[in-house]
């Protein structure tokens, strides 16, 4: 199955947006927030005009990963660029930097850093692009041990952490609005597994990723950040914290969804982001 997914991704690179399951059925379509069809060229024009691009993905979606790489390549050629990702945690930044400088190889990076199981196939191309182009790549997420602590004991679990551990997260106290629609949706979506503290753990991730982005924003430099769509959908999550930290910066949000049809945007996806990537739900995942 993994070999088939990699083969499918390779085909995407060869044929780009024209890949079809038949003569005239595309694999994806792009829409603006109001549901109007748009082109990849128009998407990139908007991206070049933004200070921060929050690229929301579905973690196992081959189309999203391909478009992330294409977007990063184009923006890297358009001017100064910083990359960052939810999939790498802040306390692995030093190891990531060593890999980017060529001081350690991929095997050492795999051993020393806490990488997602799909890192090699889905995110390594982004990191290697940064390595090849000499770009900064920010490990933006909070260490998962901190998120687990909050999920079990709320924000109070952070109070006893030593200063060295607190350095890997957004400054305390963590601002939190439990009334935000997406956080309320989490409780409904998770059913019996959803608790207010689990939502607070999500907020800790959002706040830390926003802080990581804000810390690396410089005049004339774009920041392209990769994260699960839920972290930036409907301009909440990371965007809510960035509005508090850097309200003057222009943000562009992108979200990835799947639908059984590509000719129109389903009502539930209207307004989800500035740009919505709709992928045919029959496209196989990378895992």
pLDDT the model gives residue 113: 97
pLDDT the model gives residue 14: 39
Closest CA to 145 of 211, 205, 81: 205
Half-sphere exposure of 112 (CA within 13 A, CB side): 16
Exposed, middle or buried by CB within 10 Å (0-12, 13-18, 19+), for 192?
exposed
286 lies in a domain?
no
> 230: domain range?
2-280
pLDDT the model gives residue 24: 72
Q: 256 - beta bridge partners?
A: 277
Three-state SS at 219? coil
- Angle at CA of residue 8, ends 256 and 117, nearest 5°: 70
285 lies in a domain?
no
Q: How many domains does the chain have?
A: 1
Q: Mind giving me the DSSP string for 116-145?
A: -TTHHHHTHHHHHHHHHHT-EEEEEEPPHH
pLDDT the model gives residue 25: 74
Quick one: tokens of 188? 């409904």
pLDDT the model gives residue 23: 59
287 lies in a domain?
no
Cis peptide before 56 (omega within 30 of 0): no
Question: What is the H or E stretch that residue 53 is in?
Answer: strand 52-57
Q: How far apart are CA 212 and CA 220, in angstroms?
A: 18
Q: Mind giving me the DSSP string for 75-128?
A: HHHHS-EEEEEEEEEGGGHHHHHHHHTTSS-HHHHHHHS---TTHHHHTHHHHH
Radius of gyration for the chain, computed over Cα atoms and rounded to the nearest angstrom: 19
Q: Measure the N-to-C terminal CA separation of the chain; round to a whole number of Å.
A: 8
List the alpha helices (DSSP H) in the chain. 2-15, 40-48, 62-78, 93-100, 106-112, 119-122, 124-133, 144-153, 163-166, 181-190, 196-215, 238-245
Quick one: tokens of 56? 């929301």
Q: How far apart are CA 275 and CA 71, in angstroms?
A: 13
92 lies in a domain?
yes
- Angle at CA of residue 56, ends 52 and 58, nearest 5°: 160
156 lies in a domain?
yes
Q: How far apart are CA 203 and CA 209, in angstroms?
A: 10
pLDDT the model gives residue 2: 46
* 81-89/222-228 β-pairing: parallel
pLDDT the model gives residue 143: 98
We report the CATH number of the domain holding residue 156 as 3.40.50.11550
pLDDT the model gives residue 192: 65
18 lies in a domain?
yes
229 lies in a domain?
yes
Half-sphere exposure of 21 (CA within 13 A, CB side): 12
Please give the model's pTM, rounded to 2 decimal places: 0.91
pLDDT the model gives residue 15: 43
From first to last of its 287 residues, what are the pLDDT tens digits of the chain? Answer: 444 444 444 444 434 444 444 457 799 999 999 999 999 999 999 999 999 999 999 999 999 999 999 999 999 999 999 999 999 999 999 999 999 999 999 999 999 999 999 999 999 999 999 999 999 999 999 999 999 999 999 999 999 999 999 999 999 999 999 999 999 999 888 776 779 999 999 999 999 999 999 999 999 999 999 999 999 999 999 999 999 999 999 999 999 999 999 999 999 999 999 999 999 999 999 99
């Amino acid at each position: 199955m993994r070999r088939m997914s990699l083969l499918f991704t390779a085909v995407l690179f060869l044929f780009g947006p024209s890949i079809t399951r038949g003569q005239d059925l595309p694999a994806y379509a792009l829409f603006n927030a109001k549901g109007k069809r748009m082109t990849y060229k128009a998407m990139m024009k908007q991206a070049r005009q933004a200070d921060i691009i929050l690229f929301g993905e579905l973690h196992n979606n081959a189309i999203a990963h391909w478009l992330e790489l294409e977007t990063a390549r184009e923006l890297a050629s358009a001017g100064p660029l910083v990359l960052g990702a939810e999939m790498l945690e802040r306390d692995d930044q030093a190891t990531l930097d060593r890999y980017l400088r060529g001081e350690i190889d991929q095997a050492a990076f795999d051993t020393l850093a806490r990488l997602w199981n799909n890192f090699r196939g889905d995110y390594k191309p982004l990191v290697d692009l940064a390595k090849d182009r000499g770009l900064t790549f920010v490990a933006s997420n909070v260490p998962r041990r901190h998120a687990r602590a909050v999920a079990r004991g709320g924000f109070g679990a952070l109070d006893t952490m030593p200063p060295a551990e607190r350095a890997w997260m957004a400054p305390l106290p963590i601002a939190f609005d439990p009334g935000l629609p997406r956080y309320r949706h989490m409780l409904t979506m998770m059913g019996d597994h959803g608790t207010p503290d689990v939502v607070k753990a999500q907020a800790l991730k959002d706040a830390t990723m926003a802080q990581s982005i804000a810390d690396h924003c410089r005049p004339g430099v774009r920041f392209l950040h990769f994260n699960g769509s839920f972290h930036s959908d409907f301009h909440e999550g990371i965007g809510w914290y960035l509005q508090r930290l850097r309200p003057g910066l222009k943000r562009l949000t992108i979200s990835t969804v799947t639908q059984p049809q590509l000719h129109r945007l389903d009502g539930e996806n209207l307004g989800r982001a500035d740009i919505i990537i709709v992928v045919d739900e029959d496209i196989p995942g990378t895992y």
